[in-house]
Structure formats: structure tokens, C-alpha cells
Amino acid sequence: MTYGMTQPVQQRELIDGFNRRVDYVRLSVTDRCDFRCVYCMAEEMTFLPRADILSLEELHRVARVFVSLGVTRIRLTGGEPLVRPGIEKLAAWIAAEPGLEELTLTTNAGRLASKATALRAAGVKRLNISLDSLDETRFRALTRTGNLADVLAGIQAAREAGFERIRLNSVIMRGRNDDEVLALTAFALENGLDIAFIEEMPLGAIDDHNRAEMFVSSEELRDTLAQRYTLLPATDGTAGPSRYWRVAGESGRIGFISPHSHNFCHLCNRVRVTVEGRLLLCLGNEHSVDLKPLLREHPEDDAPLAQAIIAAMDIKPERHHFSHDDNAEQLVRFMNMTGG
């Protein structure tokens, strides 16, 4: 294989030191966001200077090199990807890469109503949409700046735009929204959507609440749901961290992402790239490689970038060590910087 104008790179797949194949990349297209969710950001955030973030062309180049190394799935995320100008253009460039099987995007849906059709046309196949409450006042409190009506309009527009699947993501916190688990699930199922409940992770120092006190395990949520629904294990789940259940008579599935109570690291097939071009090998560890100098020092030669990505596989950690027992922040990195 030849990149740009340079020497051949023979390797066509990414295998880490624990024999896991990396075929999935989460690419953060911005650290900025129009919301300030209490579990994700502090109220006052400092965002990156524009010169430090990758251009759309550089983001595309990173995606292209990963696809040339056997990556088949890319998720665009952030921050809020829909605040990045040109997101539709970037999606179309990446979706057109030969070898890429699926381009997906995670969004807060605040701006989705006006962008859903263009994103679908660009080639985004599936969407994850964050929704933690169906109560307007509470939604505002949890997101600090979000408007529920905009998000619901975004969800409706996404349904009409014909995405292959739409999944709601809900982070459940005790005393904040744990009483909405059934209502959120009913909303998802009525609209033919999947829903995944996510355990809060200790990413970044937040000032809003004590994460240990508000922790709700997936087991507890599943017990709550089992009182209302007959849950059948889904056999068509992806190899990712979500464990899915079907509900008799419904098309939507219920998933649980349980980094605390169910360790899925042995199945890990993914890496993340921040909008600064830092390749993160694990959500719960600091191991990383800075790709930006390689992009900028070799503007027409992708080989150094490809070699650095291949070499980085050797430092992908075996597992994360998230714990909800002690409230010590284990990572200084906020989720908006990580690319959720």
C-alpha cells in the first residue's frame, strides 16, 4: 500500500499487544458544545484555541489512514459534533472512503432538526442521541443550557430522515433522573428507537455532584425495567460495550453500558482521536500519541501517520480501572475532550 508520495506501508490491520483487532475509531470533531451537561463539563469551560484543532481536511486524512489500516466503523463525536461548521461535508468525505462500512454520529440533538436530512444524505447510517430527561425543567437543569423542545424536534427529524437505527443514550444519576427510567424507555419504544443506559464515568473534575453518591448500577436499572417489560437477551448485539435486551413485541432494544459493573475491556476494538489529533488508546487511561505533528510536518505523505498509528497499538492498555467506590477523579480529561 502506498500513501501519498512515499514508501509502502505493508500492514493492513491494527492488532494490539493483547491480540485485539482495532476496527472502530471515535473521531472527535470539536471540543465545544452548546450544552454543559452536569456529568460531562464544568459550568465554566476553557475550549481549545482554533489553531490547535484539526481542520476538516486533517480530520478526513486521519479517517482515511485509519480506514486504509482496516478500520471499518467511524463515529463522529465531540463535544457536540453539530456545532462544528462543515460537519455535513466532513461526513460525506469520510463516508465515501472505500472500505468504510459504517459512519455513525453521536449528538445532543439540539441542532439536529435542521441537519438530520443533510447528515443522512452525507452517508451517516446510525445516530446516538443523548436524552436524560423528558421533563423540560429537569432537562434544563441537567444540561444547564439545553432546550428539550429542540431535542425532541431533532429526534423527530432524525426519524423522518431514515437513519438505519437511532439509539437514545441516558446517563442515570440517583436523585436526578433515576425516576425517569421507565418513562425514557417507553418514549424510546413508542418511537421505534433503541435506548442505552450508561453508568456515569469519572472523567474530568466536575463541580455539580458527588459521582459516587449518585451512582446507579445497570443491574438496578435492569431490575426496574424487568418489573414492567419482559426482557429477552438480544442475540444481534454488536461486539461493543452495550449489552442489549429485546422487549417482546417491540422493535426497539434496551442496552446497558456498564463500565463499572461489567468490564468489557477484553472485547475492546476501538480507539479515539481528539480534535487536537491525539490518539487515545483507552477511555480510562492516559496512554496516547500525538498525531498532529505528523499531519502537519508531512502534509503530503501519510506514511509517518500510518506508522505511528500502527506503533501505537503496542501501548494500548489491557483495561481501565474505573471505580465508583472512591470518588477520586482518575482522569483529568473531560468527556468532551475525549470524544464520547
* Contact positions vs ligand SF4 (CB under 6 A): 33, 35-37, 40-41, 78-80, 108, 130, 335-336
Residues contacting 169, CB < 8 A, separation 6+:
106, 128, 129, 130, 131, 195, 196, 198
Q: Which residues contact 19 (CB under 8 A, 6 or more apart)?
A: none
Q: How far is the CB of 108 from ligand SF4 (least distance, A)?
A: 4
CB of 193 to ligand SF4, least distance (A): 18
Q: Would you count residue 163 as binding ligand SAM (CB under 6 A)?
A: no
Residue 36 interaction partner, one of ligand SF4, ligand SAM, none, beta carbon < 5-8 Å per kind? ligand SF4
> Phi and psi for 28 in degrees, rounded to 5?
-85, 125
Tell which one of 9, 148, 189, 201 touches ligand SAM (CB under 6 A): 201
What is the footprint of ligand SAM within residues 78-107 (CB under 6 A)? Answer: 78, 80, 106-107
Q: Does 9 bind ligand SAM (CB under 6 A)?
A: no
Binding status of residue 169 toward ligand SAM by CB under 6 A: yes
What does the DSSP assignment read for 77-93?
ESS-GGGSTTHHHHHHH
Distance of CA 225 to the CA centre of its chain: 24
Alpha helices in the chain (DSSP H): 56-68, 87-95, 116-122, 136-143, 148-161, 181-190, 211-214, 218-228, 292-297, 303-312, 335-338
Amino acid at 199: E
Please check whether residue 154 is in contact with residue 166, taking contact to mean a CB–CB distance below 8 angstroms.
Answer: no
List the single partner that 41 binds among ligand SF4, ligand SAM, none, CB under 5 to 8 Å by kind.
ligand SF4
- Residue 194 as a binder of ligand SAM (CB under 6 A): the answer is no
Report if residue 39 touches ligand SAM, rule: CB under 6 A: yes
User: Is 241 an interacting residue with respect to ligand SAM (CB under 6 A)?
Assistant: no
CA distance 164 to 126: 6
Q: Decide: is 139 part of the binding site for ligand SAM (CB under 6 A).
A: no
- The span from the CA of 141 to the CA of 133, in Å, is 10
Kindly tell me which of 108 and 288 has the beta carbon lying closer to ligand SAM.
Answer: 108
Residues near ligand SAM (CB under 6 A) are 33, 39-40, 77-78, 80, 106-108, 130, 169, 171, 198, 200-201, 203, 335-336, 340
